[in-house]
Amino acid sequence: MELRRYQRQAVDAVCGHLRARDDNPCVVIPTAGGKTPVIATICRDAVELWNGRVVILAHVKELLEQAAEKLAAIAPGLPMGIYSAGLKRKDLGYAVTIAGIQSVWKKACELGSVDLIVIDEAHMVPAEDDGMYRRFIADAQVVNPNVRIIGLTATPYRMKSGSICGPDNILNHVCYEVGVRELIVGGFLSPLRTKAGPGGARADTTVLHVRAGEFVAGEVEDLMDTNALVDAACAEIAEQTAERRATLIFASGVRHGRHIARTLGERHGLECGFVCGDTPDGERAAVLERFRSTGPDALRYLCNVNVLTTGFDAPLTDCVALVRPTVSPGLYYQMVGRGFRLSPETGKTDCLVLDFGGNVLRHGPVDAIRIKDPGQADGDPGSAPAKECPECSALIHAAYSACPECGHEFPEPKESKHEARAATCGILSGQTTHEEHRVHETAYHVHFKREPADAPPTMRVEYRVGFNTYFREWVCFEHQGYALRKASQWWQARSREPFPQSVEEAVELARAGALAPTLSITVESKAGEQYDRIVRHRLGDKPPRLESDEGLEQCAPAAAGGWDVPDEDIPF
């Protein structure tokens, strides 16, 4: 199995982090972007290059099965065991152990000394000093104090405590991140279309209370589970999905979910399956198999409650209906992410998101999620860069002056407090706005254009300014003329090192600490244009010259294949 370019970059970034730093890295790849091949490659290299031992941890058996499948494809001869009560296996003594955390959290000593612990869906690790993950890791560190932890996730953020990475957390630094928008443009994820529910039958979520970073479950179900709201949602779902192959519905509770499935069947003649945490394993497996199927007995509609947000893989899903509100940006992202996967063989061209819970307006488009300040009211969309078209109910970026779906032209904002805030998003046609963002992390990568094939590479600089929110720029060290002069100015403003002679050298120097930190960026946006542009940087102090360039070539991850480091220089 050949890795995609960004997957290869993720593997290389992990290697570089483990060799250059003493803490634990995290990789951020969107849902359906292919985290499992990255995990499998890391495990293969750790075992085959350095005779290491690895444990892969996940919280649902579907993720364990995916990891085993990909590892067998990438390294068919690798000794691999599975420790999971759900999969009825308790293998010990293997170079790689794929383990369910619920089964293994007290068994670290039985597994013996391991060198790497790889955590899939790493946002599940609690921030506090308790929980199964932390107990397992603490025990594993007793057996081997030098064990390193690698996390992979699509959502590196918790509603209550912020980023999952920090100096006092288990994971300390995001070593690589690729975003939704980039993978959609690259053809690796399905494009999305978004519509709100019918305006006349919307629930008022401002009456809900928040507990532990989420709406109180009982209050949400009571609010959403009324005949009027369910009838309106089901009518909209039936109308909008007439030509869709597979619609996945997220309900607010078990009673609410059964109500939705019953209404779709009785009022619209649409068979709708239902699964929840209490659904027996055999029944659940049968329902999911029918939903994944393209045969004559395929199930086109499936409603669930809190069981299909992670680890569920049904590529033909071309509609996701959110019939539940959530305060959690991570849960919102995971629900929408069920429709990210490509399925060209079934005729899937995009995924329609029907939002009946105000989630898009609350959190923003899924490729530009904004995190609200603590205490901000649910009814206040704040900085979420989305608005609803009053004609077709499409949910679009706030910068559009005309709806790209139906052509409706939005009126100019009036002079008031609220409209003034909306205007900062560039609501006027052709309006240019500037917004400064504090930069949390900066990453540097070698970037190759697909077309033309002989185009020189560039250095892609990624600035993370929030949860799954990032901006990029490209620095052209190997171009000529104006592009090269700009690259020279860019470098001189940040570094005391000589101007690099190649993009690869520039990336190596940047990752080695040769550049001044970027504290903030100013982004220029034009209403209706697809891409924003970075026009200003606020930089920290230039670092001193690197004492020696020796080892940079050795430290550089390989462009392809395994980790290109001396055998004795094991990165864990």
pLDDT (0 to 100) of residue 184: 87
3-state secondary structure 172-223: CEEEEECCHHHHHHCCCCCCEEEEECCHHHCCCHHHCCEECCEECHHHHHHH
**Could you tell me if 152 and 419 are in contact, meaning their C-beta atoms sit under 8 angstroms apart?**
no
Question: Could you tell me which of 162, 93, 98 has the C-alpha nearest to residue 127?
Answer: 162
Q: Is the pLDDT of residue 421 over 80?
A: no
| Proportion of the chain above pLDDT 90, given as a percent | 43
pLDDT (0 to 100) of residue 62: 79
pLDDT (0 to 100) of residue 395: 63
Question: Could you tell me which of 232, 247, 242, 234 has the C-alpha nearest to residue 301?
Answer: 247
Q: Which residues, at least 6 apart from 70, have a Cβ–Cβ distance to it below 8 Å?
A: 1, 36, 37, 39, 40
Question: Could you tell me which of 187, 127, 205 has the C-alpha nearest to residue 363?
Answer: 205
Q: Which two tokens stand for residue 427?
A: 């609501």
Task: Classify 472 as helix, strand or coil.
Answer: strand
Q: Is the pLDDT of residue 380 over 80?
A: no
Tell me the C-alpha distance between 309 and 284, whole Å.
15
Q: Which residues, at least 6 apart from 397, have a Cβ–Cβ distance to it below 8 Å?
A: 365, 368, 385, 386, 387, 425
pLDDT (0 to 100) of residue 434: 78
C-alpha torsion angle, residues 69, 188, 437, 335 (rounded to 10):
-60
**Could you tell me if 570 and 48 are in contact, meaning their C-beta atoms sit under 8 angstroms apart?**
no
More confident: 317 or 204 = 317
Question: Could you tell me which of 155, 150, 211 has the C-alpha nearest to residue 571?
Answer: 150
Provide the residue type at 221 as one letter: E
- C-alpha distances (whole Å) from 179 to each of 29, 62, 186, 369, 468 are 7, 24, 11, 11, 7
With vertex at residue 324, the alpha carbon angle to CA 216 and CA 297, rounded to the nearest 5 degrees, is 135
Q: What is the pLDDT of residues 232-275, one digit of tens each?
A: 999 999 999 999 999 999 999 999 999 999 999 999 999 999 99
Mean pLDDT to the nearest integer, 30-41: 90
Tell me the C-alpha distance between 473 and 463, whole Å.
9
**Could you tell me if 403 and 531 are in contact, meaning their C-beta atoms sit under 8 angstroms apart?**
no
Burial state string for 422-432 with b = 16 or more CB within 10 A and e = fewer than 16:
bbebbbbeebe
Burial class (CB in 10 A: 0-12, 13-18, 19+), 143: middle
Tell me the C-alpha distance between 271 and 304, whole Å.
14
Which range has the top average pLDDT, 155-169, 261-275, 313-327, 542-556?
261-275
Question: Could you tell me which of 105, 103, 73, 72 has the C-alpha nearest to residue 87?
Answer: 103
CA 323 to chain centre: 21
Q: What is the pLDDT of residues 42-55, one digit of tens each?
A: 999 999 988 899 99
Q: What is the mean pLDDT of the chain?
A: 82
**Could you tell me if 435 and 337 are in contact, meaning their C-beta atoms sit under 8 angstroms apart?**
no
pLDDT (0 to 100) of residue 237: 95
Asked if the peptide bond before residue 374 counts as cis, ω within 30 degrees of 0, the response is no
**pTM of the entire predicted model:** 0.67
- Helix or strand run (H / E) with residue 150: strand 148-153
3-state secondary structure 559-571: CCCCCCCCCCCCC
Mean pLDDT to the nearest integer, 100-115: 90
Dihedral sign computed on CA atoms, order 324, 253, 84, 280: negative
Mean pLDDT to the nearest integer, 468-492: 89
Q: Which two tokens stand for residue 525?
A: 């946006």
